[in-house]
Amino acid sequence: MEKNESVTKYRLRVRIREFKIPPIREGLVVGRRAAIGCHAIRKSLDLLMVTPFAHIELDDPVISDIIVRESVLRRVPQQQLIEFVLQRIKPFMDETEILHLDLETELIIEEQF
């Protein structure tokens, strides 16, 4: 190989898991041009799960919606979640994807008497 030639390497890591009911734990981030729309996802969640989910609609060129368990929004303010998704998740997705959110929230409460 000559000095000016470059080598491109690709690595693919796959995790295969059984499809589980419920298919969503804490939430989803739905791309603007995803194959299945937010309304269809919400309808299927209503049929499959008793846990209530909140729907957050975004005005963004990549992300159209965030669907998240209402219990998460009791621990994380909605605006903070939106900012987190836009800053930390959006750069890694495109508008045709739907991404799972596995959120671990921790709430620390301190009182002094």
Over residues 59-66, mean pLDDT: 97
Residue 1 has pLDDT above 60, yes or no: no
Distance (Å) of CA 111 to CA 15, 60, 105: 43, 40, 20
Residue 52 has pLDDT above 60, yes or no: yes
Residue 103 has pLDDT above 60, yes or no: yes
Over residues 3-25, mean pLDDT: 77
Please, are residues 93 and 30 in contact by the beta-carbon 8 Å criterion? no
Residue 36 has pLDDT above 60, yes or no: yes
Please, are residues 68 and 56 in contact by the beta-carbon 8 Å criterion? yes
Beta strands in the chain (DSSP E): 27-31, 53-57, 63-69, 98-101
